[in-house]
Amino acid sequence: MAFIKLYKQKLKDNYTFLDDLFKSRAIQWGVVSKILCGNTIYLKELIALGIREIHDSRISNLKKIKVLDSDIQTVYIKPPAKRNIQSIVRYADISFNTEIYTIQLLSKEALKQKKIHKIIIMIEMGDLREGVMGEEIIAFFSAILSMPNIEIQGIGTNLNCLSGVMPTQDKLIQLSLYKQLIEAKFNIKIAWVSGGTSVAIPLILKNARPMAVNHFRIGEALFFGKDLFTGETIKGMHNDVLKLYTQIIEITEKPDTPTGEIGENVAGNTFSMNEIDDLGGTSLRAILDIGLLDMQPQYIEADDSEITIIDASSDMMVVDISNSKHTYKIGDFVSFKLRYMGGLYLLNSDYIEKNIG
């Protein structure tokens, strides 16, 4: 059975690196836990680091966090759906919002539950996912300021997740200016200016972030140590907190070219003869005990750089081990580094065992 392993010391090292980075610059931050998909074993490891603020996009995951430690501040990081309002107020201390109607619903539910629900107003900064348009922000705040049991924790933006727009210094300066405008217009204080996710870390390392931007939501960098500007690993961080291990279930020398009438495979793809340089060649192929039901091959990379992923079906993946210096045998494990989406797929699968190293 394939399994994923979380290396707790590497996780701790990455957390310490980030915590020191943010504290040294008087920045508040929360950990985005959505990659863990509510796995209780891994959430416990996260909480054991001393984390006091956890963000997630699934209310069921925030519920698990509150069960593990009710004192942790939980943040729901997408605009709430109408049918989830009751649960959002119950299990999320803070939620991201972009609709006046939704905030009205949160206000009514917070009154029922006799709670104060905090909100972050997300502002559209060009990535074209969630966010209030800049020209509407004053009218938006005018409509929500008097709503009972609602407390405005701050403003924020999301960049890079949909259209790939990067969080440049100019973008964050613009976000800072919205803070100044809102505070001056309404004579209120905005506690958080939440400048984005892991993609903003290079700006922080260069001390290029505007001082008013004082909060970030970090997930990918914690688990993968990745500089999302360059694609490289951030110096001092680990890129393999999470690793995939798959077992070999067949090794056979086979032709490189399929024989017979070619149609679509199970994933809807069609084999192209043009992709093969030597139509008469063969390769030593290994079949691994994992497939498309659990992962997508483009998001994983074998630790053995001489292994090439050929393709996968629903429950098996075929790799070319012809050029490897290692002599593999049936039952051996092949290990893979993960990209963020690779980890997300794997951790969301009930068929992948989750271990700790």
Neighbour count for residue 216 (Cβ, 10 Å): 29
Task: Please indicate whether residue 34 is annotated as part of the active site.
Answer: yes
Are 26 and 2 in contact by the 8 Å Cβ rule? The answer is no
How far is it, in rounded angstroms, from Cα 333 to Cα 2? 9
Which member of 34, 118, 226, 354 is catalytic?
34
Q: Are strands 53-56 and 333-338 parallel, antiparallel or unpaired?
A: unpaired
Q: Which residues pair with 53 in a beta bridge?
A: 73
b/e per residue, 33-51, with b = 16+ CB within 10 A? Answer: bbbbbbbeebbebbbebeb
Q: Tell me, what DSSP letter sits at residue 65?
A: H
Distances from the Cα of 66 to the Cα of 142, 226, 340, 354, angstroms:
33, 29, 25, 21
What tokens appear for 28 in the block?
A: 């508040």
Q: Which of 9, 6, 8, 28 lies closest to 18, judged by CA?
A: 28
Residues annotated as catalytic (active site), given as ranges = 34
